[in-house]
């Protein structure tokens, strides 16, 4: 199985900051990676697919990059609604695996 | 509006069974693969199972093989998850999610609101 490791596990930032979350795959997954945002008590929401393609309706302050084993999600100009937990998921092969999540908190 | 609504969750004793349903609306259900993903209380997301549009391809997470069965009824726009031999560690919110194949890649969206399964004596 492909293991997905996110870093950091938690992150404190201020409104207006730019943050980057990293996701590393235990083996190459080309660009078969998605990013999701989840707020407490809510279902996950798709942000990015194919490593860098922005889901329709998602603000352009979210961006993804990477290929192979190393990927990043960058959020520019943080707003209060961006404080949530973020997950990466590989869909290169089954079982599809998620990272453990990165909790983004307000400093 | 594209919508997924799960149902069927509840309290069940260890070793018991439960059948979850996910009713789809607002899109041509028979054209899409579907997924089940779960989240234990306070924990991260865990992929459970996927089924292709015509049920030709089915996949499970290792810990669920032999206990869970995914199925769909395209005539009823519904996805199901039959869960048998339930254990405490199966307690979680279970989400269904639509999967789209695009030129760029696979998009898993939208997700339902989830249904809570609690396995306890």
Q: Check B107 against A36: CB less than 8 A apart.
A: no
Mean per-residue pLDDT, B76-96: 98
A102-106/A10-13 β-pairing: parallel
CA pair distance B21, B11, nearest whole angstrom: 16
Cβ separation B107–A91 shorter than 8 A? no
Whether the Cβ atoms of residue B114 and residue B63 lie closer than 8 Å to each other: no
Asked if B62 and A1 come within 8 Å (Cβ–Cβ), the reply is: yes
**B118 burial via Cβ count (<10 Å: 0-12, 13-18, 19+):** middle
Tell which of B51, B109, B111 to mutate to test the A interface (max A CBs under 10 Å). Answer: B109
Question: Over its length of 107 residues, how does chain A's per-residue pLDDT go in tens digits?
Answer: 999 999 999 999 999 999 999 999 999 999 999 999 999 999 999 999 999 999 999 999 999 999 999 999 999 999 999 999 999 999 999 999 999 999 999 98
Backbone angles phi, psi at A93, to 5 degrees: -155, 160
Find the mean pLDDT for residues B63-69: 95
Position B105 pLDDT exceeds 90: no
What confidence tens digit (pLDDT) does each residue in A55-75 have?
999 999 999 999 999 999 999
């Amino acid at each position: 199985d492909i293991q997905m490791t996110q870093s950091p596990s938690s992150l404190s930032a201020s409104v207006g900051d730019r943050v980057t979350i990293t996701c590393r795959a235990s083996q190459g997954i080309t660009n078969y990676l998605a990013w999701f945002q989840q707020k407490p008590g809510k279902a996950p929401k798709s942000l990015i697919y194919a490593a860098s393609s922005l889901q329709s309706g998602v603000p352009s302050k979210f961006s993804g990059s990477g290929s192979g084993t190393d990927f990043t999600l960058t959020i520019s100009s943080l707003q209060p609604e961006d404080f949530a937990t973020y997950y990466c998921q590989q869909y290169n092969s089954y079982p599809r695996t998620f990272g453990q999540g990165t909790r983004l908190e307000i400093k | 509006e594209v919508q997924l609504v799960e149902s069927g969750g509840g309290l069940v004793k260890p070793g018991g069974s439960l059948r979850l349903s996910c009713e789809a609306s607002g899109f041509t259900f028979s054209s899409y693969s579907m997924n089940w993903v779960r989240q234990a209380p306070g924990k991260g997301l865990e992929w459970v199972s996927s089924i292709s549009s015509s049920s030709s391809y089915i996949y499970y997470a290792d810990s669920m093989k032999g206990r869970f069965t995914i199925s769909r009824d395209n005539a009823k726009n519904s996805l199901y998850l039959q869960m048998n031999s339930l254990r405490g560690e199966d307690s979680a919110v279970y989400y269904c999610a639509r999967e789209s194949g695009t030129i760029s890649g696979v998009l898993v969206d939208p997700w339902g609101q989830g249904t809570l399964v609690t396995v306890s004596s």
